[in-house]
Structure 1
Amino acid sequence: MAVPGKRMPKKISSASTLGSDEDIKVYCQPCDLDGPRLPAHGYCVDCREHLCNTCLVAHKKHTLSRHHTLLDKNSMPQNISSASVHQRQPDNFTKPCPKHKKEMIKFYCQNHEALLCSVCVTLEHTGISCKVNYIPDISGQIINSKDHQDILKAMDTITEQCRKKSEDVKKITAKSNSSLTDILADIKKFRKEINQRLDELERQAEDETKTIQQENNKNLQIVQTTCDDVTKSLKASSDAIKHLNISKQADKLFMELKLAEQMIKDYEKHVPQSAAFDSKQYNFVPNKAISTLLDKARSLGALTEKSLKHPGEICVTTSKIKDKCGISGMTLLTSDLLIITDYNNHAVKMVDTCSQSVTDQLQLDTEPFDVTSVTTTKLAVTLPHTKNIQFISVSSNKLKKKQTLRVAGECHGISYCQGKLVVSFVRPANLQILDINGTILTTVKGENLFSRPEYVTTNTYSIYISDWEKKIITKLNWQGKVIRSYGGFMSEPYGVTLSDDGNVFVCDGQIHVIAKIAGDCSTGNVVLKDLNRPYAVCWCAETSRLYFSCDTGKDKHDNFLRVFKLS
């Protein structure tokens, strides 16, 4: 007979070893571990535990156990040992959790659009903060659904983009190599006019040209490899989706579609960046001093990039505005759709770069400073005076205000990449990395680091900040660590934008130039000079065009965007 006050052992070998009616009575096992001994009113087949009435009710409500098989008092095993014969039925979950390798994915979080295992739900997606569904409860309508068709269509679209991008890069590389071949001919022609003393200098010039050709071919191979890898991944996923849909395996199809959906988002964001390729063309500029002063010559000539050409300007003033424009920020949604912030007129404008006109204008209650594209249909704008970030939707070529996000300071520059917002603050001077809901992931600050960080631009690997007072461009990694800074000839660095080859274009209003800084911040040079106080800037990889605004206080400059093309 059990002694009052002592716990019943967790497992008993058989009912025949018990000594009385009290001993064969089955008790709640969870309560037996730490609490009063209570009679069992049911049994969980999955957990293989007897439960009292309170534990039974809780078991039905908890996210991780609400789908377990429960037996009532009349159906439950009458001793703990016999409960072991009720083995858990095999389920249809075979996709392991990427975070918890030994657990299978069984749940889906609506808030975070994430597939989860039971450990993920317990640790990161509780019922209080997230809406978590058991996959079989929501997967019933996925077979031949619109989501199924849309995801397959998106996969096909990206595959076609990769094919076209690969073809474009081949054509660009051919043009660049053709220009370099012409250079070799010019070198030979020039070489015939001078004597044998220039043999060594000729070899040096030829080697430089061939090195660039090799780099072009190397870059071409990298782009082709990237596109091939994306295509293979998408095909494998697409085949799996089609098979699961035909075989009507809803749970697996649902999970595969969600994984494919995330894959599509990643590829849509990164494939254009990784596949974008700007193979420069070159001219050979002979060294005139060689003709008369061969003994003083130090080189045969120089390879130079073809210069930027000025194809035109876009008027961005409208009948709705009262003051001259103050274009303080800009971002591209597509190659022919530019979004700009007009600080002076409290407006965000949509500019069609093909028709060179403002097609829509959204009035705000305060001055907008900078803008970034979150998706092709969603923008984020900094409002420094109210210390907010305003989200704006783009639908049917119309701009519409959505929710606002409160931030802790006078926000200026903003850039979106990899699901994160990077925001620069001038008061207090710091930089923050936030998720899309406004949760601060990293804060970077310090008197020796920032003084007045105006603008920020990002890519997959790095963050670049222009500091107006320190007169430098600073490069950070995504952990907030400073990698390097470039000052050089900088005087008043303002707007910054990244080219597709990883270089940084920066406006300097004091010396009236736009400079190109190497991605590692080691060197820099002026690419456009004699400008009218360039302020905000944006690069379009598809058209090789550079857009920038001016800040002079004069209508004839500030009401227009300047457009330069790299030929």
Structure 2
Amino acid sequence: MNKESSEDFEVFCQPCDQGDIRFPAYGYCTDCEEHLCESCFNTHKRPKPLRHHRLLDKDSMPKSLKRTVTKSHATAQSLTKPCLTHIQETIKFYCDDHEALLCSVCVTLEHPTSLCSVKYIPDISGQFVNSREYKDIIECMHSIAEQCEQITADLKQMIVKSNDSLSDVISEIKTSRRVINKRLDELQKIAEESANALKTENIAILKSSETTCEDITRVLKASSDSLKQLNTSKEADMLFIDMKSAMKVINENETLISQLEQTTSNVKEYHFKPNKAILTFVEKVGDMGTLTEIDIKWIHSHKGAINVKTAEDEEMCWITGMVLLNPSRLIITDNRNYAIKLVNIDRKIIISQLQLDTQLWDITSINKDQVAVTLPDQQLIKFVSMSSDKLIEEHKLKVDGDCYGLYCYQEKLIVSFQNCAKLEILDLKGSTLVSVAKFYDENIFNSPDYVKANSSSIYVSDSGEEEVIELNWNGEVVGRYQSFGYPQGLDFLENGSICVSDSKEERCNVQCISHDCREGEIVLKKNSFTLMQSVGVKQIVCCIFLQAVLMKVMPILFKSSNLTM
């Protein structure tokens, strides 16, 4: 077929084209920088001079002659970063499957195009200039740098407090020392040296942490500045390469940040406890006193949004339950994505995700390391533990119905069921202690969604009855509050009252009702978010973190909460 033929191809064999014959391209040689037909492709590596040439198949080859020529010439100078494995080669390709930057040798030996999705960097790099991924990396670097600053600032305050307490210890040691015999001089010296050694250790911890944070900040700033410069100059290839390299730096630094956070557990507050026996039994005692440790709580404010959507999620997040295991670890249930997620509140990231095969609803804490969740469709309660910031699936309990609301109180599980409209109290082995469905032959519940309990009462939000129902531990109804449209998530405030979310679309508010369910008031209104004077700061946080407030009212309350999707 000659060039004047009415049939033509967008990408054709360039060697054959030189002989006035045009065939469709079947592959591409990266060394010759030419497209090849099937015949040329299959015979290309037979001659000895061509045996080491790298070939791309039809799926991986550049898709147009014009782009190939201009791109290869235009980027010949920019593709200069050497391959870490093959120093003599430059990085030209990227493997989507393994998220790896590759040279031609890497493609041939480790990532063949028949097995991996290999892309030629000049073909894809242009889309990364000012891309979402570029912005996310810059933002992530900025976030890590801020975390370093926060860790250093918090650690300084903790060290000051710890050292102040140790200074008080030394003062108390000296005060105690003045009333005892001089023969305890040696014991006094030992006690002071012990306190000073702890101060020295604190200073060493601070210096080490400061040095690490400074190193991380310096590396991130250099990388960030480089990315910004490349992005401004639109050097797409180098930007792409440095962005992918930066992700590894980010991951390494995130690990260092996690290790730095763990070092705070070594910083203690100390108090000196004199040995009273020393005053009357000087000859018999073996020490001057003991140093008692008190953990210094690392408390700082949590500002900004936490994005709870992950790469594994296929649907928009629908958070139907949450529990705070400790001040920095929040566990949430994502109903639509069948997932339990562990949130690091300090770092504002998801650090572990446990994927299930069914929808889940509510969650409650069993102890400091274990939670339980309800799986309505499978009529199961599943227990999950947290170990080393990983969610681990444990045993499960089979229950009699589609379980929704769940709360653990003094090793008893209170469970609400919607299909049979009942409430049960179980022990942790699944045995039924109390079952409640009727009151004087009348149904108590219609659609019980969530439950909470204290020493005297059990509270149930029933969206079908449009009320909150109070029962005693014998299952008898002792109170009702009905000023709702669609009550769901509920939790206790410090004064014993109950905070309840009303997620009916035209209402969308949060109400605070008395413990006897006789009166209540709206404390968070739709759009206005007006908070009554009677609600304190801690109560506001409780209102925002209601377990099921993230239903129809979710988009509204998210504007004031710490979670985004």
TM bucket, shorter chain: 0.3 to 0.5
TM-score by length of 2: 0.47
Per the normalisation by structure 1, the TM-score is: 0.47
